[in-house]
Structure 1
Amino acid sequence: MKDKSLDYNSIIGLFLILFVLTVFTYFFNDKEKEEINEKKNFFKSNEKNFFLKKENVEKKNFSFLENNVLKLKISNVGGGIDEVLLKKYRAYNSLLSYHTKNLFLVKNSSFLYKMSFSNEKDIINTENLLFKSFVFNNEKKGIKILLMRAKSPYGKGFLDYVYTIGKNNQYDIGFYIRTINFFPFKKLISIKIDQKLISLEKDRNWENSYTQAYFSKNSKSIEYLSEKKTEEKYLPGINWFAYKQQFFASIFKPEKILKNIFIKSNNLSSGKFLKKIQFKTLIKKNKDEEFNFSFRFYFGPLDFNLLKKYKNGFENIIPFGWGFLKWINKYFFLIIFQFLEKTNLNYGIIIIFMTIVVKLILSPITYKQYKLSAIMKLIRPEIEKLNKKYENKKDTFKKQKAMMELYKKIGINPMSGCISTLIQVPIFYSLFKFFPTIINLRGKSFLWVEDLTSYDSIFELPFFIPFYGNHVSLLTLLYSLALLIYTKLSNNEKKNPSEIENSPISNMNFILYLMPIMMLLFINSYASALSLYYFVSNVINICFLFFIKKFMLDEKKIIVRIQDKKINDI
């Protein structure tokens, strides 16, 4: 019985072992299958993540780089810059009629950086790659580093985007691209940088006229695409390129000169974007070497002194005007403005003082012009006598010779009036480019003026007047009125009481009175700082007119010298 019981126990034990093994094997296989399936699904999901669609935002996350003046938001999808916030500036808020909104140069993926790698069968577009982020601090160099790494979907290699930013007040960002054991690709690599430029100012149309694509073939000269129409160009090589707005810019400076460039600018007639600017280049490389490339991005203000520090000619994208006007603005008005800016006064007061300083510098020219006008008025009877004496056309040469002798005896040169006018005309027109481009005036108020770089409005019209606009600028009205008064007074000084009212000279005077009306229409939508400057300038001209007549010119003495025909100086 004992043996039988052992046999029964052995049989029962064997069955239990078999049962346990069967159950274990069953569950193990299921678990192994689940693990295998999980790995497959994980691989597939990761493979899909390398080619994420833009609408798939559930897995989208962001990394941040920040210093005192900049804040960058960088997406893990594509590894590109999703937002650029300028901390020290504000965008115009139409609801409050003031600059109160956060100023984003890039927002909601308005900036696109994309590279394309390819071999005979496959193409990798980096805008669809999923990047992982790693943040480092380099205390010695005072920089923050963001490494964005994407795995190749066709191999074991990696693509790295390395962003670096200074910890203080730097507006430029380092951007380094490198491949590590990336899959075999052809010699050509495509790089594309597109940006939709966001409207930031009060007057969209005015702002759009200052928004352009610029590029430099060397550090000394710059070129640009049209600000009014769609334009594209092929360029054999560039040193840097920029997407410029009225007061801000996105500048891209590669480490080496880029060749085979395509650049295009499209105007956007409505919406929150001003223009879409596209840039594309093809880079050649040896087949077996890794790809390494460096950029520096500048996202910041168009500040002349700040841009000049980069020593690449970036400051030349500030539109100070063409030719001689540009030199007047950079080396005359800008220097005076920056000197007065140190007083820390209201910017409207600074413009008034700037006007006074400029008028004082030009006062010798102004005095000569007024003196010539006064003398020409007094000698008009003598000129009329010469005109009657030499009425015959055959005596034209004799008449001119006699007039030149008269001018010489009086001690004047009629051409000096033309020369003084020619000197003042470039100064007059250079200001049209100066005030709308000075970022220091942006958002600065004065009395009823909200922003000195835009028009002031005391009344909105329910309709649009060609050349004038749909608003009434008080500063423009004041300037036009001052110009009208000055024109009237200066004409009275030039006009001889003995003149016949209907003479040709008298009939031509009405043309001068068209100038205030033309200026009223022309600068109504210009920067209010310009109207303020011209208003103060004309008030000073009126004061000069009275001062010179009262204290500096002795008409009786001039008449005596005309009669005596002396050659002494007046």
Structure 2
Amino acid sequence: MDRNTVTGFVLIGLLLVGFGYFTRPDAEQMAAIQQQNDSIAAIQANQDVLEKKQAEALAQDVAAPAVIDSTSLFFQASKGAEELITLENEVMKVTFSNLGGRVYSATLKKYKDQGDAEGNNKKDLVLFKDKENKFNINFYNQNEVIQTKNYFFTPINVTDSGLTMRLAADENSYIDFIYNLDAQDPENYLVDFQIKANGMAGKIANNNYIDVDWEQLTPQHEKGFVFENRLSRLTYRTFKDDTERLSESSPVTETPEERLNWIAFRSQFFSTILISDQGFESATLGSTPKEEGTGYIKDYKADVKTFFDPLGKEVTQMYWYLGPNRYKTLKAFDSEKGYDWELNSIVYLGFPVVKQINRWFTINVFDWLSTLGITMGIVLSIMTILVKLLVYPATKKTYMSSAKMRVLKPQVDEINAKYPDQSDAMKKQQEVMGLYSQYGVSPMGGCLPMLLQFPILMALFMFVPSAIELRQESFLWASDLSTYDAVIRFPFTIPFLGNHLSLFCLLMTITNVINTKYTMAQQSTGAQPQMAAMKWMMYLMPVMFLFILNDYPSGLCYYYFLSTLISIITMIVLRRTTNDDVLLAQLNANKNTKKKTSGFAARLQAMQEKQEQMKQQGPQNRK
């Protein structure tokens, strides 16, 4: 066991003092769990069979060779041998196949795959390859449907940064697929893709459109299947500037009515995006989740129509983006290249308020800290501390509101003793609110500061899962902050938990339990004692986080752990630096017995007066 792992367990030991037996199951419960695990193990034994079947399905997923009639327009191109040609720059290697004239594979040079079972022998990440990415275009004439997937194109004009795939009917009649990398920007993940006809007038239908059939079986690139699957979703953008996402949890098919600007087949950190200047219409989009163990995350499909000029006067202009889901990389296409695509919208940064905080604060500060040469774990630590400093004024205001009600508790108890009957509940509440009004204390005074700090606290929570910078970055015992840190692995699967235990997730759960206990201890001295059922629920929620977040990125659990730990320390410091006697003296000094009752207290008083009036009138006078 290395030093980092020992450090983790020492932290747990310190946090578990006084809590060691809090949730420990008895012998009967352990026996029941073991029986359930034995049943699950039997199901898991079939996983290898499932994986083998999925592999065989992919290998056999080749349509029977199309029989091309000798009268076909492109009959001479229906026979040949597959040939691969590669273009590359500093960030990617893109391979094209003459069979269908399509993109055959894409390899990203600045990112690595997960390597072998031990995490060694990592290679450049392959975004997709071979049959995982199927691309077919349908042209039409009176006699046939011409499907490009059935024909061998001829590579011409091959250079270091571009090539043309030509589908020829004869020397003067052909369709070109023109691919080019940006020669001026060697770190560009974009492939320019044009389709142009030459001499095809009268040979293909003059209907000004083509049908595009695109399908991708998206590989699993990350260690954590569950979380990667959750963040992998087909995303598209309309020309109305709306970005939409298909459900990631179940098979779904959608037919958007609007014209689309682009379609993204995305995984957690990488995307294949097809962009059209002329737009996609009559779209049918589909997403099907794959089973864990198959090596794939999603099966995406898109059937669309796009512009095509059979006379060859205008080109069909499209682009392939083959790269990372990095916010600033995607944003640069608009801010630096002059496009109007909003590709950065595929990176989910939270609901509107949180998104703006992430966009203008979190991302910029994170990028600046990343340039200092410190580890990503330290970057997250600094970010967490900065966030807690930003919300400290609101935190202190919330605490002081609770502290004021705590020091007024003896007077509240006197009012409770004065009205022991349930029938006097409204009168009792009225006097309590009147008391608070005299001392300038509002029971809701801590709510607004909590609401104000919530978006700031949530911003980093939403940013971390989308931060590709954390991918394969190690910290302490976590080898990859973008996925779970499986310090403990089980030879079986525990329902809702999985086959591992994340140490950062465990630390986060323990700190949340301690924070709950400490917070409730503070509240129990206040004006509103906690009900037993409510206390039980408050303890249950942090324990539930262990099951919910065990598959989440260790960087996210680390942030949550550290944030909660800082909250506990802050509350302890505030409690020890707040003198209840001094605070009560200040309240008495500022007490205003003539202060006008307003708000909730005024409404209670009005209701009480009406109730007293009805009592005095008697039942016979009530209407």
TM-score, normalised to structure 1, is: 0.82
* Mean CA deviation greater in 158-167 or 437-446: 158-167
Q: Distance in 1 between matches of 2:557 and 2:242?
A: 32
8 Å CA contact 1:98–1:450 kept in 2: the answer is: no
Paired residue for 1:112, among 134, 137, 142? Answer: 134
Paired residue for 2:198, among 156, 180, 188? Answer: 180
Q: Secondary structure at the match of 1:462?
A: strand
Alignment of 1:402-481 (within 5 A): 402-481=431-510
Paired residue for 1:130, among 144, 152, 155? Answer: 152
Indicate yes or no: 2:210 matched with 1:201: no
Question: Measured at CA, do residues 424 and 511 of structure 1 come closer, stay the same or move farther in structure 2, by a change above 3 Å?
Answer: farther
Question: Which residue number corresponds to residue 147 of structure 1?
Answer: 164
Q: Distance in 1 between matches of 2:572 and 2:530?
A: 28
- For residues 309-331 of structure 1, give each alpha carbon's deviation from its aligned partner in whole angstroms, at most 9, with x where no partner exists: 22211111112233444334334
Alignment of 1:288-303 (within 5 A): 292-303=315-326
Paired residue for 1:226, among 231, 247, 251? Answer: 247
8 Å CA contact 2:331–2:343 kept in 1: the answer is: yes
Question: Which residue number corresponds to residue 46 of structure 2?
Answer: none
Q: Secondary structure at the match of 1:93?
A: coil
Counterpart of 1:147, as a letter, is T
Count of residue pairs the alignment pairs up: 510
Q: Secondary structure at the match of 2:349?
A: coil
Counterpart of 1:264, as a letter, is G
Deviation at 1:498, TM superposition (A): 12
8 Å CA contact 1:230–1:265 kept in 2: the answer is: yes
Counterpart of 1:265, as a letter, is S
Query: Which one has a bigger Cα radius of gyration?
Result: 1
8 Å CA contact 2:197–2:311 kept in 1: the answer is: no
Q: Distance in 2 between matches of 1:420 and 1:451?
A: 35
8 Å CA contact 1:171–1:299 kept in 2: the answer is: yes
Question: Measured at CA, do residues 284 and 563 of structure 1 come closer, stay the same or move farther in structure 2, by a change above 3 Å?
Answer: closer
Q: Secondary structure at the match of 2:131?
A: coil
Indicate yes or no: 2:78 matched with 1:51: yes
Question: Which residue number corresponds to residue 366 of structure 2?
Answer: 337
Q: Distance in 2 between matches of 1:298 and 1:287?
A: 26
8 Å CA contact 2:409–2:527 kept in 1: the answer is: no
Counterpart of 2:182, as a letter, is G
Deviation at 1:175, TM superposition (A): 0.6
- For residues 349-371 of structure 1, give each alpha carbon's deviation from its aligned partner in whole angstroms, at most 9, with x where no partner exists: 11111111111111111111222
Q: Distance in 2 between matches of 1:86 and 1:516?
A: 40
Question: Which residue number corresponds to residue 264 of structure 1?
Answer: 286
Question: Which residue number corresponds to residue 157 of structure 1?
Answer: 173
Question: Which residue number corresponds to residue 86 of structure 2?
Answer: 64
Counterpart of 1:532, as a letter, is Y
8 Å CA contact 1:173–1:298 kept in 2: the answer is: yes
TM-score, normalised to structure 2, is: 0.76
Deviation at 1:393, TM superposition (A): 5.0
Q: Distance in 2 between matches of 1:156 and 1:360?
A: 71
Question: Measured at CA, do residues 564 and 79 of structure 1 come closer, stay the same or move farther in structure 2, by a change above 3 Å?
Answer: closer
Paired residue for 1:349, among 378, 382, 385? Answer: 378
Counterpart of 2:568, as a letter, is I
Counterpart of 2:102, as a letter, is G
Question: Which residue number corresponds to residue 83 of structure 1?
Answer: 105
Q: Distance in 1 between matches of 2:189 and 2:357?
A: 28
Q: Distance in 1 between matches of 2:358 and 2:137?
A: 41
- For residues 509-557 of structure 1, give each alpha carbon's deviation from its aligned partner in whole angstroms, at most 9, with x where no partner exists: 3332223312222211111111111221122122212322233x22221
Deviation at 1:394, TM superposition (A): 5.4
Identity %: 29
Alignment of 1:310-325 (within 5 A): 310-311=333-334, 312-325=341-354
Paired residue for 2:583, among 518, 534, 558? Answer: 558
Indicate yes or no: 2:532 matched with 1:515: no
Paired residue for 1:276, among 277, 296, 299? Answer: 299
- For residues 229-283 of structure 1, give each alpha carbon's deviation from its aligned partner in whole angstroms, at most 9, with x where no partner exists: 2222223321211111101111111121222222222222252222222222235
Q: Secondary structure at the match of 1:65?
A: strand
Question: Measured at CA, do residues 219 and 85 of structure 1 come closer, stay the same or move farther in structure 2, by a change above 3 Å?
Answer: farther
Segments of structure 2 that go 5 or more residues without pairing to the other structure are 1-69, 335-340, 594-623
Q: Secondary structure at the match of 1:255?
A: strand
Question: Which residue number corresponds to residue 619 of structure 2?
Answer: none
Deviation at 1:217, TM superposition (A): 1.1
Q: Distance in 1 between matches of 2:121 and 2:324?
A: 15
- For residues 148-189 of structure 1, give each alpha carbon's deviation from its aligned partner in whole angstroms, at most 9, with x where no partner exists: 222117x84111111110231010110111111126122253
Of structures 1 and 2, the one with the larger relative CO (CA 8 A, separation 6+) is: 2
8 Å CA contact 2:308–2:315 kept in 1: the answer is: no
- For residues 405-460 of structure 1, give each alpha carbon's deviation from its aligned partner in whole angstroms, at most 9, with x where no partner exists: 32233332221222233334445555543211111111110011011111111110
Segments of structure 1 that go 5 or more residues without pairing to the other structure are 1-42, 138-142
8 Å CA contact 1:135–1:144 kept in 2: the answer is: no
Deviation at 1:507, TM superposition (A): 6.3
8 Å CA contact 2:138–2:148 kept in 1: the answer is: yes
* Mean CA deviation greater in 393-402 or 343-352: 393-402
Counterpart of 2:178, as a letter, is V
Deviation at 1:106, TM superposition (A): 2.0
Question: Measured at CA, do residues 447 and 334 of structure 1 come closer, stay the same or move farther in structure 2, by a change above 3 Å?
Answer: same
Question: Measured at CA, do residues 523 and 266 of structure 1 come closer, stay the same or move farther in structure 2, by a change above 3 Å?
Answer: closer
Q: Distance in 2 between matches of 1:116 and 1:432?
A: 45
8 Å CA contact 2:405–2:441 kept in 1: the answer is: no
Q: Distance in 1 between matches of 2:253 and 2:504?
A: 40
Counterpart of 1:51, as a letter, is S
Question: Measured at CA, do residues 152 and 197 of structure 1 come closer, stay the same or move farther in structure 2, by a change above 3 Å?
Answer: same
Question: Measured at CA, do residues 295 and 459 of structure 1 come closer, stay the same or move farther in structure 2, by a change above 3 Å?
Answer: same
Question: Which residue number corresponds to residue 615 of structure 2?
Answer: none
Question: Measured at CA, do residues 286 and 345 of structure 1 come closer, stay the same or move farther in structure 2, by a change above 3 Å?
Answer: closer
Indicate yes or no: 2:210 matched with 1:189: yes
Q: Secondary structure at the match of 2:388?
A: helix
Q: Secondary structure at the match of 1:209?
A: helix
Q: Secondary structure at the match of 1:256?
A: strand
Q: Distance in 2 between matches of 1:180 and 1:214?
A: 34
Question: Measured at CA, do residues 415 and 196 of structure 1 come closer, stay the same or move farther in structure 2, by a change above 3 Å?
Answer: same
Q: Secondary structure at the match of 2:93?
A: strand
Question: Which residue number corresponds to residue 565 of structure 2?
Answer: 539
Deviation at 1:195, TM superposition (A): 1.7
Counterpart of 1:557, as a letter, is V
CA RMSD of aligned residues (A): 2.9
Question: Which residue number corresponds to residue 273 of structure 2?
Answer: 251
Deviation at 1:48, TM superposition (A): 6.2
- For residues 205-243 of structure 1, give each alpha carbon's deviation from its aligned partner in whole angstroms, at most 9, with x where no partner exists: 221111111111126321121112222222332121111
